[in-house]
Amino acid sequence: MPDTSPQKKFIFPFSTADNRLGQSSICTYLYEYLEDLSAKTCLHESDYIDKDYLIDYSKFYSRSFEKFNKTTDRYHFFTTSFGQIKFKRALENDNKDFFKSLQESYLGFIVLKPIKNILGHQLIGKTVLATYPEHDEIDIRCFLTNEHKVSLFGIPLKVKTLPFQQKDNAVGVCATVTCWSAQFPLMHMFGTPILSPVEVTERAVMCPSEDSRNFPSDDGLTLSQLKYYFNSMNLETEFINPKPTTDSPQTSRDDIIADAVRAYIELGLPIIATLNVKGTNDYHAVLITGYRHTHGKVREIYVHDDNIGPYHRIKPNRRGKFTSWKESSSSGIEKEYELQRLLIPVYPKIRLSFGKVFRAFLQFKRGTEILVSSGTYPQGTQTELFLTDIHRYRQFLLTKKFEEKKDIVREPAARFLWVIRIHNRGKPIRDYVLDGTAIYPNRIIWDIEFNNR
Amino acid sequence: MAQTLQEKRMERAQREFNAIITPDILEEAELLHKHMSYVPPEEMFKPFTM
């Protein structure tokens, strides 16, 4: 007789998934997020061995008197509807067409750890979920993503995203989890290792702090420990203070946070934002994972916030800036955060800092504004700044028309480049390409005027 | 020795760039970098606990 009891069903409609995931605020957020992505079916993989949790288990939970399970539950999500009978038959017959349809409709997975927080909610482990769509009417979303391969009972699946997980007070809170997520693009680009949360905390606390205990780690990491952690991976750390100086060349039209986010996400570098809850001594760390823009104007920033969920949307404040943002918890309490600093782990050869190149960028930006008001450049012409590497930039050049192209694309250039681009509604007009491995923003490699006719 | 095409182009680009990014701007860039990257010692040791 077929087993149809709800407990034994491993494939079920997404509409009932909230019963399985739990009732915590993060679960509610994830459920709504997946609903936005049109999830239809959920597949439960029991006794899943999650590497990150297994290391946390072996280093921390296995030595507790209380018994903890060493395996997890993994839930996969799909945009198509299918049932258990069809799925089992496909496994039996190696139905490649069905497997292909699973890949096309795959939204990723959530790992549920066998650990509960103080409120009795099961903790969310490694979560690998698709991003919001790239296009939304005239807006474009840009995310920090890499391809993640998933094996579901031998069926190859993949999803482009950045992993997320919830804080676990035993092995690491916000800053640890933020570093854990930041490791993925860094590994992809620079070959740095991926550590589990407990290992991230272990590494970071080798830099002493004023707190007494390292584990349980609810005392949190400090900025000096974050710096130490990335430095120990042979990476440099760049800090950006978003507050202008009294004699700053910035105007009300400039938003340093939006500019920095665009500049680094272009190359695929993670950006850690440190926040202060206004009016308190509470500090929080989140990872900036993407942004949404209309013709270059940043409308939203997306963050992995371990207290909320992945790709949480941040809107600009009343002044149109991202220097402070508001968040409402599920209990309705509103918190206002002030963005204190951005921390970007960078490859040591990226020597030209954002601060130095930003001043040069502002000079070009002011110049473009004058040329727009005089009618030399058409309305809507803007200036943007971004970091890239020679491979990506040459790939871009190959798609464009400009003078001496066949010579320029063959010329040697620095591995990392800062580009100051003048464009009209995304169409590039002129690129000033600076040597990103230089110390000062005074070495131009190329000055390219594009032929858009 | 005769200049290569690249050297000639770079020289021209550098000249035009230097007319916009003057020594004053480079000096300001240094100051802005110092301001942006400086973290007061007390901030380095505030734990992120949330």
Could you tell me the CA-to-CA distances from A409 to A296, A400, A406, A447, B4 in Å, in that order?
26, 11, 6, 13, 15
Q: Could you give the CA distance from residue A288 to residue A312 in angstroms, rounded to a whole number?
A: 9
Alpha-helical runs (H) found in A37-173: 51-59, 84-93, 96-104
Looking at residue B1, its pLDDT comes to 61
Check if A246 contacts B (Cβ < 8 Å): no
Tokens of A215: 């584990």
A148 CA: distance to closest CA in chain B (Å): 28
Could you tell me the CA-to-CA distances from A374 to A88, A184, A368, A371, A389 in Å, in that order?
68, 46, 10, 5, 34
Looking at residue A19, its pLDDT comes to 86
In the chain, the amino acid numbered A177 is V
Tokens of A47: 């006794």
Looking at residue A85, its pLDDT comes to 96
Q: Across-strand partners of A253?
A: none
* Interchain CB distance below 8 Å, B28 and A359: yes
Check if A447 contacts B (Cβ < 8 Å): yes
**Side-chain half-sphere exposure of A214, counting CA atoms within 13 A:** 15
| 3-state SS assignment for residue A125 | strand
Looking at residue A335, its pLDDT comes to 87
Could you tell me the CA-to-CA distances from A16 to A11, A13, A43, A67, A308 in Å, in that order?
11, 6, 11, 29, 21
Q: What residues 410-429 of chain A have any CB closer than 8 A to a CB of chain B? A: 411
- Which residues from B are below 8 Å from A when comparing CB atoms? 5-6, 9-10, 12-14, 16-18, 20-21, 25-26, 28-39, 43-50
Strands (E), A69-203: 72-78, 106-116, 122-129, 135-136, 139-143, 146-152, 155-161
| 3-state SS assignment for residue A53 | helix
The ipTM, to two decimals, is 0.93
Q: What is the mean pLDDT of each run of 10 residues along chain A (453 residues)?
A: 58 93 93 97 98 98 96 98 97 97 98 96 97 96 98 97 97 97 97 97 93 87 97 97 81 88 97 95 96 94 96 94 83 85 97 96 95 95 97 98 94 96 94 97 95 81
Looking at residue A245, its pLDDT comes to 77
CA A425 and chain centroid, separation = 25
Q: Could you give the CA distance from residue A385 to residue A312 in angstroms, rounded to a whole number?
A: 25
- For an interface test with B, the pick among A406, A407, A447 (most B C-beta atoms closer than 10 Å) comes out as A447
Q: Could you give the CA distance from residue A354 to residue A363 in angstroms, rounded to a whole number?
A: 14
Which residues in chain A touch residue B46, judged by CB atoms under 8 angstroms apart?
A: 222-223, 281, 283
Looking at residue A3, its pLDDT comes to 45
Q: Across-strand partners of A222?
A: B47
DSSP string, A311-340: EEEE---TTS-SSEEEEE-TTS-EEEEEEE
Q: Give, to the nearest 10 degrees, the angle between helix A354-373 and helix A256-265.
A: 110
CA-only gyration radius of chain B, Å: 20
Q: Please name the helix (run of DSSP H) or strand (run of DSSP E) that holds residue A225, with its range, or none.
A: helix A223-232
Looking at residue B7, its pLDDT comes to 85
Cβ(A206)–Cβ(A233) below 8 Å: no
Which residues in chain A touch residue B16, judged by CB atoms under 8 angstroms apart?
A: 447
Q: Could you give the CA distance from residue A76 to residue A127 in angstroms, rounded to a whole number?
A: 10
* Interchain CB distance below 8 Å, A245 and B31: yes
* Interchain CB distance below 8 Å, B35 and A355: yes
CB atoms within 10 A of CB A320: 14
Check if A241 contacts B (Cβ < 8 Å): yes
* pLDDT tens profile B1-50: 677 877 888 899 999 999 999 999 999 999 999 999 999 999 999 999 98
* Interchain CB distance below 8 Å, A358 and B36: yes
Which residues in chain A touch residue B49, judged by CB atoms under 8 angstroms apart?
A: 173-174, 218-220, 282-283
A286 CA: distance to closest CA in chain B (Å): 10
